[in-house]
Amino acid sequence: MGVKALYYSERDGLDMALKNPDKMLFSSKAEADARDKVLELSEEITTFLQRKVGGLSEELAEQCALAIAEEKDLFTKAMKKPELLNETVEAE
C-alpha cells in the first residue's frame, strides 16, 4: 500500500476539508494554494460587500463573496461582456 499526501488550505481548516474532500482536499500543493487564493479574495470581497451594502448579514456576504471569488475568471470576462454571467446558467 502506498502513501499519498493530501493538501488543504488552512483557511478552510482540516475539519472542514475532511467534511468536503471533493472541494477542499487536493493532491498537489499548487491546487491547495489556488484554493487559498480564492479564499483570500473571498475575505476581501466579504469586507467590501459589508461596507457597501447596508444591512447585509455576514453569512450572506460570505456566501456571495465566495461565489464571486470562485468564478473570478467569469466575472473578469463579464466586465467586457456582461451577458456571459447568464450564458453560463443557460448552458448548464
Inside any domain, residue 52: yes
Q: How far apart are CA 44 and CA 49, in angstroms?
A: 9
Inside any domain, residue 61: yes
The DSSP secondary-structure symbol of 26 reads B
Inside any domain, residue 42: yes
Q: What is the pLDDT along the chain (92 residues), one digit of tens a residue?
A: 788 888 999 998 899 889 988 889 999 999 999 999 999 999 999 999 999 999 999 999 999 999 999 999 999 999 999 999 888 555 55
Residue 4: per-residue pLDDT: 85
Inside any domain, residue 23: no
Inside any domain, residue 22: no
CATH number for the domain spanning 46: value is 1.10.10
Alpha-carbon distance values, 60 to 11, 56, 66, 86, 91 (Å): 18, 7, 10, 21, 26
Range of the domain at 45: 34-91
Helix (H, G, I), strand (E, B) or coil at 7: strand
Residue 62: per-residue pLDDT: 96
- Neighbour-count burial for 21-47, b at 16+ CB within 10 Å, e otherwise: eeebbbeeeeebeebbebbebbeebbe
What's this model's pTM, rounded to 2 decimal places?
0.79
Inside any domain, residue 13: no
Inside any domain, residue 45: yes
Residue 90: per-residue pLDDT: 54
Inside any domain, residue 19: no
Structural domain total, the chain? 1
